[in-house]
Amino acid sequence: MAVLLCGEIKTGSLNNLLNRFGLEVKRMPVNQELPGSFWKAPEAGLIGNTLYISDDTPVHSALHESCHYICMDQQRRSKLHTDAGGTAIEETATCYLQVLLSDLIPEMGRARSFSDMDEWGYSYRLGSAQAWFEQDAEEALEWLIEHQLVDTQQQVTFLLRQ
């Protein structure tokens, strides 16, 4: 099964969600270099508060890079260009938040997010993104709660890490 691509969802789905975090989504032509893409096209790119995608960018990539922006502190965010950096726990929190945000995109949802993450090659010691999320991601959730990015009911707060 192929992963869900940005060209397969309504433009407003992603834009409206990410605009709530102060992110601007800029669509680029397919087969063109995406500014700020650490892994190169079709993977999403980040420069400042702009997320660069194309119709062939996987939705999970757009969400993942956006979650890096949300999870980094303001000092790193102000200098953001291509490499989000961060700690191992911040990376796991990014993945966790990515799953939560996928529920807010009607065409995606959590089940599709898990399957796309597995298909794309995210690697978890329990063998799948869903198993990790449900059985091994307590520290990621605690980190997100501590930084007020989600509440204790796992609801997204639409705040940026300070």
Residue 90, H or E segment: helix 88-102
Q: Note if the pTM is more than 0.85.
A: yes
pLDDT at 148 over 70: yes
| CB 112, CB 104: distance < 8 Å | no
The alpha carbon of 13 is separated from its chain's Cα centroid by a whole number of angstroms, namely 14
pLDDT band at residue 123 using 50, 70 and 90 as cut-offs: confident
User: Which whole number is the average pLDDT over 61-71?
Assistant: 98
Both tokens assigned to 12: 């407003």
pLDDT of residue 1: 66
Phi (first) and psi of residue 88, to 5 degrees: -60, -40
